Homo-oligomer: A and B are copies of this chain.
């Protein structure tokens, strides 16, 4: 069984049971954020064993699928790059347009290094706005300096 097959089983059960990601998070998560739970069920992160057991029950998954949800996956969620889906493409466009700007400003503030994509968290929320609601992302990643030995 491959991780991609687990994702397909999850999506099929979610669809037929009419569940939302919010409900799934509430039923499954012990200490994991909604973004990480969703990413794990889409094959990009891992769940804690207790969470995987609840997921297996919720989605009627076989034992191997339950174990697979606790394993670290081979990450990479996009079938092509640049992404063809318009919603995901917009994030890619932001890197194309602002990538060198982010590099300049982060390095002016922090020196030589990177923002971690590993020690990283993020929240997403709706920001009501008269001219049309907005998607608000807050991302925070530890700054890691290039070490010099």
Instruction: From known contacts A42-B101, A114-B90, A146-B118, infer whether A85 and B77 are also in contact, taking CB-CB under 8 Å.
Output: no
CB-CB under 8 A from A121, the residues of chain B are 147, 149
Would you call B44 and A101 a contact (CB within 8 A)? yes
CB proximity to B under 8 Å, residues A31-55: 31-36, 38-39, 42, 44-46
Q: What residues make up the interface of A, taking CB atoms closer than 8 Å to B?
A: 1-2, 8, 12, 15-16, 20-22, 31-36, 38-39, 42, 44-46, 63-64, 67-68, 71-72, 74-122, 124, 126-127, 129, 131-149
Q: List 22 A-B contacts (CB under 8 A).
A: A12-B64, A15-B68, A16-B64, A21-B105, A22-B108, A31-B148, A32-B148, A44-B97, A44-B98, A74-B84, A81-B96, A87-B106, A90-B116, A91-B94, A118-B147, A133-B142, A135-B141, A136-B138, A136-B140, A137-B138, A139-B139, A144-B144
